[in-house]
Amino acid sequence: MSTNLVNLGRVDYLPTYEAMQAFTAARDTATRDAIWLCEHPPVFTQGLAGKAEHLLAPGDIPVVATNRGGQVSYHGPGQTVAYPLIDLRRTGYYVKEYVYRIEEALIKTLAAFDVTGHRVPGAPGIYVRLADPFSHAALTGPFAGADPFNGLGKIAALGIKVSRHCTYHGVALNVAMDLSPFSRINPCGYAGLQTVDLSTIGVSTTWDEVAGVLGQKLSTYLAP
């Protein structure tokens, strides 16, 4: 059974979150898996473990409490958001591998634009070298040690929820957006973590192009 790729366009966060919950609550073993692709108007989302002190100055941007894992994140125009709605019992793999596969899909999506994405142990999401985001070298030397983010910028954030063995929430990949709201929070709970997008590191592309690649990579890497 193939995954249903759905492009929602620009949609408000809260009703999309509620729709994911409703889809997951109503689905059964015959329900086709889906990946929803969208972008949101400006919004801060707070995960279950979220601490108020990581919201530094939300100002006029709304804050929505959610039931995903992780801390506070920001969504806004110019960011490709993907919500995989996957029945893990059907896939035959568990949550840890699910996260790994999502990150692999992100890395392969970035590679399609000649950008090298990296994992940082213990910090879900994908990062790029700020000095040379196109370098294929592994993270070593100055990137290891006391500050795991030294010389890195975060380009994709991940936060998931699993209910009755079915996933929702997902991943956000920064394409070409106003990055200033990230300075109003500690992104994903890390003070001073720099956030970047494809535009900042010199990649000229469109939201639609990135959404198309990310949707296909997620379909491939999340398949059973």
| Cβ-Cβ contacts under 8 Å for 135 (sequence gap 6 or more) | 116, 129
Q: Which of 188, 210, 213, 214 is catalytic?
A: 188
> Rounded CA gap, 201 and 43, in Å?
24
Residue owning tokens 């709304």: 62
84 close to 167: Cβ distance less than 8 angstroms:
yes
188, 154 in Cβ contact below 8 A?
A: yes
Pairing of strands 4-10, 34-39: parallel
H-state helical runs in the chain = 13-26, 88-91, 95-111, 207-221
188 among known catalytic residues: yes
Enzyme catalytic residues = 188
